[in-house]
């Protein structure tokens, strides 16, 4: 048995993976074997050989221009956008509401990341981020889906992607919380795949322990393969959603509690512009802002990472002084189910990106665990926004961060995207909603609104009497 595996591994220069085979128990050997068998070593060799190949995006940046865009109604920045075709706010809202009432919209949450920067020892969705309630990120997201279901009288199916790093804890947590009020049959939890980390010197896969490989989730783009994967005797999650009549999937990431899940206005721009993939963007604050830039080139949309955008191109401006490349992706999208289905059948729809990371590993010579001080490994990840060029009529919708975007990325005490800044931004948004309803919120007083109480400033107006005073920390819930 061992010799046969060694022969296979030798073809790809990976036989070191069995260095400690004889010291492993039977079950450890089986586990290692399973991991080895799940790896496409030919693909890995190809990715490693091409790790320094110049990306097409560099040449594309020279032809890049701003994408067709709509402005969400909460945006106050007056810089004009060029829409694909003219759609009024009212038309967008009505069209989106109708799609929801017809039960054609599902939601997908990606929650498979390892959250290394946050340094929280559980899945990030379990982080308590409510500034008054202490609600977890999962609670915010689940209640928003439930609120939309109640609002539009439909049962919105909710697909939640985990990874081996987050799966079991997420499943247990959500079950223990009774899916925050959603019906169990409306929640579809599925696990994404992994990719091995390799040494930059020779492409050899690193060992995490003597009997396991250094594997990590294959990026949020792993969603495409995972959602269309058929398990034995089971149809894929995407097919199950299709059987329920779902034609559109609202997509968001676990780290942003401000996201307006199933926003009718956002859905309406998508539908009425005939787009297959619509992405929310924010206006970059300065040319070298560290966001993925959504651009148009040759009639298609692309994301060019800030690290791939030459500075002289990033600095180009229009005659009014505004940036030409202005649209920063915030990873909120709507996908047509048909687009996901079509692109999942094309192996090259989503390229792998490489990232150099610090990955602890076992030294083959000594069997010791090494915790590296600097980057020692290459990881391979797919990004879901790379579907943009495959989409017909893709468009973006500009949103304003105070009402839509505050991601939890960094550990407590960091200057940006930390628990403190996200709680502050949440409280500020809800204060804005209450003041719009002509309530009085005392300075420095945190307020929070459960999505089940009100899921928009308009619904707050219907529930709060003008002049209501909030002078102590308050959590509004049903």
Binding mask 423-462 for ligand UTP (x = CB under 6 A): ----------------------------------------
Total number of residues that touch ligand UTP (CB under 6 A): 21
Minimum CB separation from ligand UTP for residue 428, in Å? 22
Among 254, 277, 282, 377, binds ligand UTP (CB under 6 A): 254
CB of 61 to ligand UTP, least distance (A): 22
Write out the binding residues for ligand UTP, residues 179-198 only, by CB under 6 A.
Answer: 192
Q: How far is CA 244 from the centre of its chain?
A: 24
- For residues 327 and 396, what is the distance between their CA atoms, to the nearest angstrom? 8
Q: What residues have CB less than 8 Å from 201, skipping those under 6 apart? A: none
Cβ-based nearer residue to ligand UTP, 106 or 112:
112
Beta carbon nearer to ligand UTP, 217 or 287: 217
Does 167 sit near ligand UTP (CB under 6 A)?
no
Residue closer to ligand UTP, measured from CB, 92 or 422 = 422
Q: Which is nearer to ligand UTP, 161 or 429 (CB)?
A: 161
Q: Which is nearest to 309 in space by CA: 297, 329, 291, 322?
A: 291
Q: Which is nearer to ligand UTP, 217 or 446 (CB)?
A: 217
In the complex, least distance from residue 188 CB atom to ligand UTP, rounded to whole angstroms: 15
CB of 83 to ligand UTP, least distance (A): 28
C-beta separation of 277 from 394 below 8 A: yes
CA dihedral 369, 374, 379, 385 (to 10 degrees): 140
Which positions from 100 through 139 interact with ligand UTP, judged by CB under 6 A? 110-117, 124
Shorter beta-carbon distance to ligand UTP: residue 75 or 195:
195
Candidate residues 211, 219, 287, 451; the one interacting with ligand UTP per rule CB under 6 A: 219
Q: Which of 84, 208, 220, 404 binds ligand UTP (CB under 6 A)?
A: 220
CB of 240 to ligand UTP, least distance (A): 20
CB of 249 to ligand UTP, least distance (A): 15
Residue 29's alpha-carbon distances to 17, 68, 196, 216, 391, in angstroms, are: 11, 54, 18, 20, 44
- What part of residues 38-77 is at the interface with ligand UTP (CB under 6 A)? none
Task: List binders of ligand UTP among 299-318 (CB under 6 A).
Answer: none
Of the listed pieces 214-222, 238-246, 298-306, 415-423, which binds ligand UTP according to CB under 6 A? 214-222
Q: Which stretch binds ligand UTP (CB under 6 A): 212-220, 237-245, 396-404, 466-474?
A: 212-220
Q: How far apart are CA 353 and CA 192, in angstroms?
A: 17
Q: Decide whether 131 or 292 has the Cβ nearer to ligand UTP.
A: 292
CB 330 within 8 A of CB 274: no
Cα–Cα nearest to 216, from 240, 235, 198: 198
Cβ-closest residue to ligand UTP? 113
Q: Which stretch binds ligand UTP (CB under 6 A): 9-17, 93-101, 248-256, 446-454?
A: 248-256
Measured CA to CA, the distance from residue 429 to residue 140 in angstroms comes to 14
Question: Closest separation between CB of residue 319 and ligand UTP, Å?
Answer: 36
Answer for which of 96, 157, 222, 457 binds ligand UTP (CB under 6 A) is 222
18/262 with CB nearer ligand UTP: 262
Contact string 393-412 vs ligand UTP (x = CB under 6 A):
----------------x---
Instruction: For residues 90 and 68, give the distance between their C-alpha atoms in angstroms, rounded to a whole number.
Output: 19
Nearest to 35 by CA among 194, 230, 197, 198: 194
Cβ neighbours for 1, distance < 8 A, ≥ 6 positions apart: none
User: Which of 14, 149, 170, 253 is close enough to bind ligand UTP by CB under 6 A?
Assistant: 253
Sole binder of ligand UTP in the list 106, 217, 419, 451 (CB under 6 A): 217
Residue 370 has φ and ψ, to the nearest 5°, of -110, 130
Contact residues toward ligand UTP (CB under 6 A) are 110-117, 124, 161, 163, 192, 217-220, 222, 253-255, 409
């Amino acid at each position: 048995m061992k010799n046969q595996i060694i022969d296979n591994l030798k073809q790809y220069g990976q036989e070191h993976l069995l260095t400690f085979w004889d010291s492993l128990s039977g079950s450890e050997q089986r586990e290692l074997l399973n991991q080895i068998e799940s790896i496409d070593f030919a693909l890995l060799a190809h990715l490693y050989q091409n790790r320094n190949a110049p990306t097409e995006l560099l040449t594309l940046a020279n032809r890049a221009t701003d994408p067709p865009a709509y402005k969400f109604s909460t945006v106050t920045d007056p810089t004009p956008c060029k829409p694909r075709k003219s759609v009024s706010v009212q038309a967008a809202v009505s069209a989106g509401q109708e799609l929801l009432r017809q039960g054609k919209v599902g939601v997908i949450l990606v929650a498979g990341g390892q959250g290394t920067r946050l340094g929280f020892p559980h899945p990030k969705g379990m982080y308590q981020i409510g500034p008054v309630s202490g609600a977890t990120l999962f609670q915010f997201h689940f209640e928003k889906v439930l609120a939309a279901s109640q609002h539009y009288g439909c049962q919105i199916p909710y697909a939640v992607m985990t990874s081996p790093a987050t799966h079991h804890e997420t499943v247990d947590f959500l079950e223990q919380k009774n899916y925050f009020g959603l019906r169990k049959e409306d929640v579809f939890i599925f696990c994404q795949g992994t990719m091995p980390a390799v040494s930059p010197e020779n492409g050899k896969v690193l060992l995490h322990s003597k009997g396991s490989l250094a594997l990590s989730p294959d990026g949020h783009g792993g969603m495409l393969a995972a959602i269309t994967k058929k398990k034995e005797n089971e149809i894929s999650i995407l097919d199950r959603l299709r059987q329920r009549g779902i034609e559109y999937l609202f997509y968001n990431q676990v780290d942003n509690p401000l996201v307006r899940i199933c926003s009718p206005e956002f859905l309406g721009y998508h539908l009425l512009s005939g787009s297959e993939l619509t992405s929310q963007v924010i206006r970059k604050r300065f040319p070298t802002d560290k966001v993925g830039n959504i651009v148009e080139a040759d009639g298609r949309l692309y994301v060019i990472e800030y690290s791939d955008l030459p500075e002289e191109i990033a600095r180009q401006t229009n005659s009014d002084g505004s940036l030409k490349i202005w649209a920063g992706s915030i990873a909120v999208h709507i996908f047509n189910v048909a687009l996901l289905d079509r692109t999942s059948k094309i192996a090259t729809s989503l390229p792998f990106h490489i990232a150099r990371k610090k990955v602890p590993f076992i030294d083959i010579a000594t069997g010791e665990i090494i915790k590296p001080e600097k980057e020692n490994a290459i990881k391979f990840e797919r990004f879901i926004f790379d579907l943009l060029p495959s989409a017909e009529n893709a468009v973006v919708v500009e949103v304003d961060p105070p009402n839509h975007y505050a991601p939890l990325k960094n550990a407590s005490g960091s200057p940006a995207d930390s628990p403190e800044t996200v709680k502050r931004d949440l409280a500020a948004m809800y204060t804005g909603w209450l003041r719009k309803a002509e309530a009085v919120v005392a300075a420095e007083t945190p307020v929070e609104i459960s999505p089940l109480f009100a899921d928009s400033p308009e619904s707050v107006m219907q529930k709060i009497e003008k002049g209501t005073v909030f002078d102590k920390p308050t959590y509004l819930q049903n």
